[in-house]
Amino acid sequence: MTDVPGLILVTAHADCAPVFLLDEKRRAIGLLHAGWRGILAGVIESGLAVLSSEFESSKSDVRAAIGPTISPERYEVSRDLADQFRERIGGEVVLERDGSPHLDLYLCIRLILERQGVIAGSISDRPPCTFDSRRFSSYRRDQDHTTGMITFFTIL
């Protein structure tokens, strides 16, 4: 999180979602790495809390963009993990496909943002799937041969 122009925030990804938070009124930004572990640990809520406490941002003023991430069709998870997400966020974030649970990271992030007070119209649409597009790195697709991606965000 920063409000310093020119300071570059950076995260690395390879199926997890980069989440960009922007408060134009306060000229403050945040960049989060949101995979299943971070989402369960509260990274989205923590990021919004820091914007609020450090920069006096109102959650209703925050705009959020969710970058490329693995789609639910490609993200099979264990029953135990699926149950944790059902309990923490709700059943709609877990899809059953071919008898196995699949997790929708984008929907998890979107629902948490909305429940925290970010206006639905201020959240980006579903991004491309990292697994399906060769433009992006995907650990699920490429395993140990993935190169990964970096994401950056700055205030000009």
| CATH at residue 27 | 3.60.140.10
The pLDDT-based confidence of 146 (bands split at 50, 70, 90) is confident
Task: Say whether 45 sits in a helix, a strand or coil.
Answer: helix
pLDDT of 147 higher than 90: no
Is residue 86 a part of any domain in this protein?
no
- In the predicted structure, residue 5 carries a pLDDT above the cut 90: yes
**What pLDDT band is residue 15 in, cutting at 50, 70 and 90?**
very high
Three-state secondary-structure class, residue 131: coil
CA separation for the pair 70, 49 (Å, rounded): 26
pLDDT at 143 over 90: no
Note the pLDDT of residue 36: 97
For residue 73, the cross-strand partners are none
Nearest to 136 by CA among 30, 52, 14, 16: 14
Residue 122 one-letter amino acid:
S
**In degrees rounded to 5, what are phi and psi of residue 3?**
-125, 15
pLDDT for residue 117: 98
Range of the domain at 147: 10-70+105-153
* 76 C-beta neighbours (distance < 10 Å), count: 16
What pLDDT is recorded for position 145?
81
Residue 123 binned pLDDT confidence (cut-offs 50, 70, 90) = very high
Confidence of residue 50 (pLDDT cuts 50, 70, 90): very high
Domains held by the chain: number: 1
In a domain, 1, yes or no: no
Q: Kindly tell me if the per-residue pLDDT of 55 is higher than 90.
A: yes
Buried-state track 106-121, b at ≥16 Cβ within 10 A, e below 16: bbbbbbbbeebebeee
